[in-house]
Structure 1
Amino acid sequence: MVGIVLASHGGFADGIAQSAQMLFGEQSNFAHVILTPDEGPDDIKGKMDKAIASFDDQAEVLLLVDLWGGTPFNQANGLLENHPNWAVVAGMNLPMVVEALTQRMTNPDATAHEIATAIVEPAKDGIKTKPAELMPKSESKVVSEAQETGKKKTIPEGTVVGDGHIKFVLARIDSRLLHGQVATGWIPTMHPDRVIVVSDSVAKDEMRKSMIREAAPAGVKAHTVPIKKMIEIAKDPRFGNTHALLLFENPEDVLTVIKAGVDIKTVNVGSMSYSVGDVNANNVLSMNQEDVDTFHELAKLGVKFDVRKVPTDKEGNMDAILNKAQSLLDEQKK
């Protein structure tokens, strides 16, 4: 596995490493070093050497630095002289680090050079403006042309595409819906071509729908549909070649679509935010009595639970979580 070092002037590398690990969880063979105002080139080089020495394997190392020509870059560049398999990429931003970790996670045999090549475009694509027309004209033209190219003709109703059955690569309960952990962790792992947020309330909220569309990674379309529409989509043979990642806000909506015939066999339980009257079953799952009862009903229907925030997390014990939640709810009633 490629070892990754983030290096910067000041605390930038520390902050970006913390942000990345919020999305991916704790990472091994991953280090961050900084150059403080009272330090010089030898100090940052010593920190890089120490970080690399802590890796399980020093054969493949990727150094991501903040500024081309700056002291962290110069010292990282010097390390390459005796290590031709290593690579340095300057202009570090969070999309670059996210893509590096994604590449390493999805392809453990990738080399430092291969990952270095793969992270440049996502780093550039992470720079966008709102309104979109504030982007330089050349970039705006490319975006406009891509949107035109991506337009598709409507498939006539009743047409059978592929085997006529939509494929659900993941069904996830997450009150935050499409956010960083989904965009940078689950989507690269599960490879959907479409993300579908299933929510009656969000489907009526144009601002939230717009934010969800814009949060989708390049190459993946994001849609928000009410529950009734999701049930129709699941039965529509025109989606036979679609690989969808479903996002639900709560277990009740999952139960509704399953009872209506949507073929979901496993539910990833990621995050349920706290509301008044809930109890904290763990640090990311808050439930009320209806939630607990719904999970038990799903289990009776044969649904399996995969309790993980991100793909690299160790799977949680849903029975233990539900038992704790029930105990806290019982205590709350006294």
Structure 2
Amino acid sequence: MGIIAVRIDERLIHGQVANLWTTKLQASRIMVVDNDIIKNDIQKTALKLAKPAGVNLSILGTKKSSANILAGKYESQRVFLVVKKPETLVQMIEEGVKFDTINVGNMSQKDTTQHLTQSINVTDEDYDAFHKILDAGVKITAQMVPNDDAKDFAGILKDYKK
């Protein structure tokens, strides 16, 4: 099976991901991909504590996760891949990983972001990364929780003023 879902959510593992999404997807593993967190023992410990019981967890950088995926290491599992930023997925795509659909969950508001939806705020860098993902033929949806309707993110992205 391998990767069954990909989500951008800067909170990574929290109530919605740990309970709602993981349960809905029947994920056997959550894979957090982030080049900064792999160097931070406190953040890694927090993610380990936040994961649901009975679900495996991988915390990897982009190169290692891409290599593992391309080598077929997770083919017998149901992997839910979670990243903080779209740039991480661009790196993985450039390393040869293929994605069909990416779901955008929460990207919080900061001084450098533009508000697109109730829970999605993007920077110029995010905007560029989303277009690279779309140009790679990947569908992007916006959906906070499984019971919400998935919205076409390309349409939402058109409201961004660069």
Scaled by the length of structure 1, the TM-score of the pair is 0.47
Shift of 1:263: 2.0
**Number of residue pairs matched by the alignment:** 162
Q: What is the identity, as a one-letter code, of the residue corresponding to 1:235?
A: L
| Correspondences of 1:279-318 after superposition (within 5 Å) | 279-318=114-153
* Larger helix proportion of the pair: 1
Aligned equivalent of 1:8: none
Q: What is the identity, as a one-letter code, of the residue corresponding to 2:134?
A: A
- Confirm or deny that 1:199 pairs with 2:34: yes
Aligned equivalent of 1:231: 66
1:75-107 Cα distance to aligned partner (Å, 9 max, x none): xxxxxxxxxxxxxxxxxxxxxxxxxxxxxxxxx
Higher CA-based Rg: 1
Q: What is the identity, as a one-letter code, of the residue corresponding to 1:197?
A: V
Unaligned runs of 5+ in 1: 1-165, 330-334
* Larger strand proportion of the pair: 2
Work out the CA distance in 2 between the residues paired with 1:202 and 1:317.
30
Instruction: Determine which of 177, 180, 202 is the counterpart of 2:12.
Output: 177
Work out the CA distance in 2 between the residues paired with 1:264 and 1:225.
18
Q: Check conservation: 1:209, 1:223, Cα contact below 8 A.
A: no
Aligned equivalent of 1:221: 56
| Correspondences of 1:38-49 after superposition (within 5 Å) | none
Shift of 1:223: 2.0
Aligned equivalent of 2:95: 260
Work out the CA distance in 1 between the residues paired with 2:55 and 2:89.
22
Q: Check conservation: 1:173, 1:247, Cα contact below 8 A.
A: yes
Q: CA RMSD in A?
A: 1.4
Q: What is the identity, as a one-letter code, of the residue corresponding to 1:183?
A: A
| Correspondences of 1:23-172 after superposition (within 5 Å) | 167-172=2-7
Work out the CA distance in 2 between the residues paired with 1:292 and 1:238.
31
Scaled by the length of structure 2, the TM-score of the pair is 0.94
Higher relative contact order (CA 8 A, sep 6+): 2
Shift of 1:214: 1.2
Could you list the structure 1 runs, at least 4 aligned residues long, displaced by more than 3 angstroms after superposition: none
